[in-house]
Structure 1
Amino acid sequence: MGSTETIVEHCNSEAHKLVANRTLPALLASRAARNGGAPLFSDRTTTWTGADAVGIAARRAGALAAQGVKRGDHVALLCGNRTEFMEIVLGCGWLGAVVVPINTASRGLQLEHILRNCGARLLVAETQLVHAVLSLDARGLRPQTIWLIGEAGDAEAEAQETAGAAGYTAVPLPPAGEPLDAAVLADGDPFAVLYTSGTSGLSKGVVCPHAQFYWWGKNTARDLGVVAGDVLYTCLPLFHTNALNSFFQALIHDAMLVADRRFSASGFFDALVETRATVTFVLGAMVPIQLGRPVAGNEREHRVRIALAPGVPGHFQQDFTSRCGIGLIDGYGSTETNCVISSVIGEHRPGYMGKLSAGFDARVVDEHDQPVPDGEAGELILRADEPFAFASGYLGMAEKTVEAWRNLWFHTGDRVVREADGYYRFVDRQKDAIRRRGENVSSFEVEQVLLSHPAVETAAVFAVKSSLAEDEVMAALVLRTGETLAPLELIRYCEPRLPYFAVPRYLDFAQELPKTENGKIQKFKLREQGVTRATWDLDASGYRLKRS
């Protein structure tokens, strides 16, 4: 198609045809035609305008096509917050391929399951992260080609050599290719597959259509009051829905997203000042962490007026706002759904997620899907008015899809209370879920790693409460007859096999675990017992987990 200017001119001529279309190519074309010169995305080293993004999408699509990637193919992406991450996302969306962002902390069983389940024909990975893939059994894994993101040097050469020995072909990230015309897509075509961390079994690949992210961007920005010229700042990972949808907020509303590599407690307010952010995003533990730090001189020097803060306990919210001047709003959404419950600053009630948003329907029900009275806890079930505002299902898991969407409602697995005035309050998870450091941890996956140790006979993993308003991971274990196992030895065994946030903090060794008559472990009894004097605590040991 030629130069970026030519691509933008083509988009301008086509924009009127695409304005009602909620696919990524249509949204990029509309932004380029409407406000192409304004900045859209930055990783604090590189910045793109809306017009730049169209050219990047078209040329990265060309490079993907040259690799043999076609419409509907899956491309796995193991990468932190950097421009290359968004290049691959935009290139896939432009081509009609499906991007599969993977949590950069994924290891072992979880990572292997994701790669097998998604069937990606190409893996794009940061050089420093690719070792997690190369340690897996390559047999049966489709992504035989790996594009490496990172500076050329010894690390890249070593990764290429290791990849070759493991049965993969690894090459540096190719340069942008010849630009392609955007694929003609429908709102319901799959845009991404995002993996939940699994709460009671293997991680599920959530198939997210293009229009779902349009509605994420539209609805979330509405509650945050995002307007043209806003600077949205996130240090949350782009491989999660929260941060990825913030790009769509910026795209649709002529704003800019700045994505930092990671959260830094000591550098958070510096980043807000330096980026001139006006809107930001935090998760549950981030607020109490900041409140626990000494007051810094720059906490009032920023321009941020509001933050989306799901999961922040109500008693921390007013203290945070009073201290640093940033208004917080809560909300409810999941990878499978959208921004379905929320509030605006003037209507926000600490301790509550908010009210049902326009365009969605919700019920609080018992185990038979019958509504429970206001003020009584039950499972939250949801549906959307707009087509494809929710995910389409779970990849390769038809039974799980039918179970979750039974009776034509999405069953969240979350226990909530709806008050008579319409405000919703989160209570807990229906199933055995653990929420730690802003991540969902699958007890099943942690248990599988523990049970793979030759000294472990039985393992049960469950949540205990953290002082930071989230959960800590605790494991109760029974060793095989005649075996001994030091707690730190088991932690070191888990470390290369689990994401760092899933490695248990607490270990209890017992002669036996409480069970039902049919042999199932009664985790509720273990939770009730919780941490005792006999419990081993990783934090108290002085050992520090590696994060890569």
Structure 2
Amino acid sequence: MGSIDDSATLGTATAVRSAPALTLPALLAARVQRNSVAPLFSDRKLRWSGAEAVDIAARRAGALAQHGIRRGDRVALLCSNRSEFMEIVLGCGWLGAVVVPINTASRGMQLEHILANSGAKLMVAETHLVGAVLALDHSKLALESIWLIESEASQDDAGAAPLASPIHAQPLPPRGEALAAADLGDGEALAILYTSGTSGLSKGVICPHAQFYWWARHTASHLGVVPGDVLYTCLPLFHTNALNAFFQALTHDAELVADRRFSASGFFGALIETNATVTYVLGAMVPILLGREAQPQERAHRVRIALAPGVPGHFQQEFTDRCGIALLDGFGSTETNFVIGGGIADQKPGYMGKLVAGFDARVVDDNDREVPDGEAGELIVRADEPYAFASGYFGMAEKTVEAWRNLWFHTGDRVVREAGGYYRFVDRLKDAIRRRGENISSYEVEQVLLSHPAVETAAVFAVKSEFAEDEVMAALVLRAGETLDALDLIRYCEPRLPYFAVPRYLDFVADLPRTENGKIQKYKLRDVGITATAWDLETSGYRLKRS
């Protein structure tokens, strides 16, 4: 089939426009023209106005350029929710470089693949996270240098000895001389966001500047964001949800407050302290919050609405009645946009929503033929506006062609469209696991399990959680004559996997169900679910480290 030139996919060409540019520099300039002094971003320690954000973007771009970063170069970012994260995003966007935010829990094979696939020349990382980078095989990487962000003092990294680095590492340089914004096209890449594959290695989703604009426009419209709103998120900025919240604030004269992490005990207090009016939650967070004893703080905030994809329908009204916050569901993905949803008046518990204007969707069979309403099939989608969707998967031409075949993006989600136009999620077509807001590739978990010398075969699959979403279970066959303690295997996985991908359940079995040609039949394992012989990490007393 040939290959796709990634330089073309990144969108280096600039077209003549008849409308205002939708690039990050253009959106920043427009914000300053409308309101230069209103707050735009805060990490609860520092706060920037629109004018300050422009200065930060121009001067951080200057520092990047002085370091040799050029338009189209990739800059990896391994950082928690703090102002330096957004500073690197703004600097890259101003310069025309491409930021590669990485899940801070990434380790081992997954982290090495992301760095190798993206070809990042520079990494910006917090000091307590950089050890995972230094442990990799650098002969496979294009990485030339690391900028270190001083970690906040914590028990995890306080007093830790500095690690020897095989590549040049230095403290985060000061901002440089301000540069003029690059003349960028709407389709040029702003970010490459890695999303776990369903049956293979993580794929780098090439997200153009305009995609973030359209995310912001549609999401803010559904949420009813207005000037002066305070948008509060405790979701990680390395995911598309929180990153898009910044663009909602940017384009609607609001402020984004990005907190460090989700805390069930501190969530409503944070809403009060930040004076938030809009917030963002994931499906698993709502039942966790409802599982706590009711507190006066749950009604003492100003929040009127939350973007809440994937919340089970039976929790939605209970949460609104108890906490006074309306929950907005919908469908989107890193590759797409807010394709299915609508405002609060259009919500129907248990459903994703209706098709949003500006997009098209079909429910199809294995041959991409549309199925009748009421029949389950794969959801495929496309956008009316140019660059409202991602441009493809970086360095993975075959995967790009497969996902965008017949000029539709194939979501991999099995859904039903009802006669009234509402879409209902059924399940994933392929073998992905969704746990506590994170997408997990069973393939990557299996590769770590199989690397243990005692393991002969491993199958990783989703089982039902007591909360929303999934738990990770592994069925394992040991090599002849080998024995293996479950907790020892967990300890083996811990430095090699993100904490959320470490299996909760382990089941050591004599054999696995297979087809005639030897392929493991995971659907049979999922159908059985948690067996009587399964070992449970949650009841073992062992707690995974999260740093």
Q: TM-score range by the shorter chain?
A: over 0.9
Which residue of structure 2 lines up, in the alignment, with residue 3 of structure 1? none
Determine the C-alpha separation between the residues in 1 that align with 2:225 and 2:333. Answer: 21
TM superposition shift of 1:140: 2.2
User: What is the DSSP-based 3-state SS (H/G/I as helix, E as strand, rest coil) of the residue aligned with 2:213?
Assistant: helix
Q: How does 1:145-544 map to 2 (within 5 A)?
A: 145-150=145-150, 161-163=163-165, 167-544=166-543
Write the distance in 1 (CA, Å) between the matches of 2:151 and 2:133: 19
Deviation at 1:63, TM superposition (A): 0.5
Shift of 1:82: 0.3
Question: CA 1:425 to 1:152, structure 2 compared with 1: closer, same or farther past 3 Å?
Answer: closer
Q: What's the CA shift string for 1:209-242, capped at 9, x where partnerless?
A: 0000000000100000001000000000000000
- Segment of structure 1 superposing worse, 477-486 or 18-27: 18-27
Contact 1:310 1:331 in 2 (8 A): yes
Q: Distance in 2 between matches of 1:199 and 1:448?
A: 14
Distance 1:126 1:263 in 2: 19
CA change 1:351–1:151 in 2 (3 A) is closer
Question: Does the Cα contact within 8 Å between 2:128 and 2:151 map onto a contact in 1?
Answer: no
Q: Does 1:86 align with 2:90?
A: no
- Matched position secondary structure for 1:407: helix
Structure 1 residues 152 and 309: CA distance shift in structure 2, 3 A = closer
Relative to 1, partners in 2 of residues 1:145 and 1:107: Cα closer, same or farther, differing over 3 Å? same
Secondary structure in structure 1 of the residue aligned to 2:296: coil
Alignment partner, residue 105 of structure 2: 105
- Name the structure 2 match of 1:117: 117
Distance 1:303 1:18, change over 3 A: farther
Q: Determine if contact 1:19/1:26 at 8 Å carries over to the other structure.
A: no
Task: State the TM-score, normalizing by the size of structure 1.
Answer: 0.95
Amino acid at match of 1:434: I
What is the match of residue 31 of structure 1? 31
Distance 2:276 2:163 in 1: 42
* Length-normalised TM-score, structure 2: 0.95
Q: CA deviation at 1:132?
A: 0.8
Match of 2:5 in 1: none
- Whether the aligned pair in 1 keeps the contact of 2:131 and 2:163 (CA below 8 Å) is no
Provide the C-alpha distance between the structure 2 equivalents of 1:350 and 1:141, rounded to a whole number of angstroms: 47
Cα RMSD (Å): 1.5
Q: Is the 8 A contact 1:364 1:377 kept in 2?
A: yes
Q: Deviations over 1:134-154 (max 9, x none)?
A: 111111211120000115999
User: Identity over the aligned pairs, expressed in percent?
Assistant: 75
- Residue 161 of structure 1 deviates from its aligned partner by 4.3
C-alpha distance in structure 1 between counterparts of 2:369 and 2:268, whole Å: 47
Q: Structure 2: which 5+ runs fail to align?
A: 1-16
Q: Secondary structure at the match of 2:139?
A: coil
The answer as to whether partners of 1:160 and 1:170 remain within 8 angstroms in 2 is no
Aligned structure 1 segments of 4 or more residues deviating by more than 6 angstroms: 152-159
Amino acid paired to 1:69:
I
Aligned partners of 1:416, 1:42: CA distance in 2, in Å? 38
Measured at CA, do residues 308 and 448 of structure 1 come closer, stay the same or move farther in structure 2, by a change above 3 Å? same
Q: Give the 3 Å change call, closer, same or farther, for CA 151–400 of structure 1 in structure 2.
A: closer
SS at match of 2:247: helix
Q: Cα–Cα, structure 1 residues 159 and 203, in superposed 2: closer, same or farther, change >3 Å?
A: farther
Instruction: State the distance in 1 between where 2:68 and 2:374 align.
Output: 55
Pairwise CA distance, 1:428: 0.5
Deviations 1:347-388 (A, max 9, x none): 211111111111000000010100111111110000000000
Structure 1's unaligned 5+ residue stretches are: 1-16
Matched residues in 2 for 1:18 and 1:269: separation? 45
Deviation of 1:469 after TM superposition, in Å, equals 1.5
SS for the counterpart of 1:331 is: coil
User: Does structure 1 residue 136 correspond to structure 2 residue 136?
Assistant: yes
Q: CA deviation at 1:157?
A: 10
Supply the AA of the counterpart residue of 2:116.
Answer: R
CA distance in 1, matches of 2:296, 2:152: 40
**Partner Cα distance (2:152, 2:381) in 1:** 48
Partner amino acid, structure 2, of 1:147: W
> Structure 1 residues 223 and 50 mapped into 2: Cα distance closer, same or farther (>3 Å)?
same
Return the alpha-carbon distance in structure 2 between the equivalents of residues 161 and 520 of structure 1.
Answer: 43
Q: Which amino acid aligns with 2:245?
A: S
Once the two structures are superposed, residues 395-443 of structure 1 have per-residue CA deviations (whole angstroms, 9 ceiling, x without a partner) of: 0100000000000000000011111111111111000110001000000
CA 151–320 in structure 1, closer or farther in 2 if over 3 Å, else same = closer
Q: Deviations over 1:434-453 (max 9, x none)?
A: 00010000000000000000
Describe the SS at the equivalent of 2:136: coil
Matched residue, 1:51? 51
For the residues of structure 1 that align with 2:137 and 2:161, how far apart are their CA atoms?
16
In 1, are the aligned partners of 2:126 and 2:151 still within 8 Å (CA)? no
Q: Are the equivalent residues in 1 in contact too, given 2:219–2:248 (CA < 8 A)? A: yes
Number of aligned residue pairs: 529
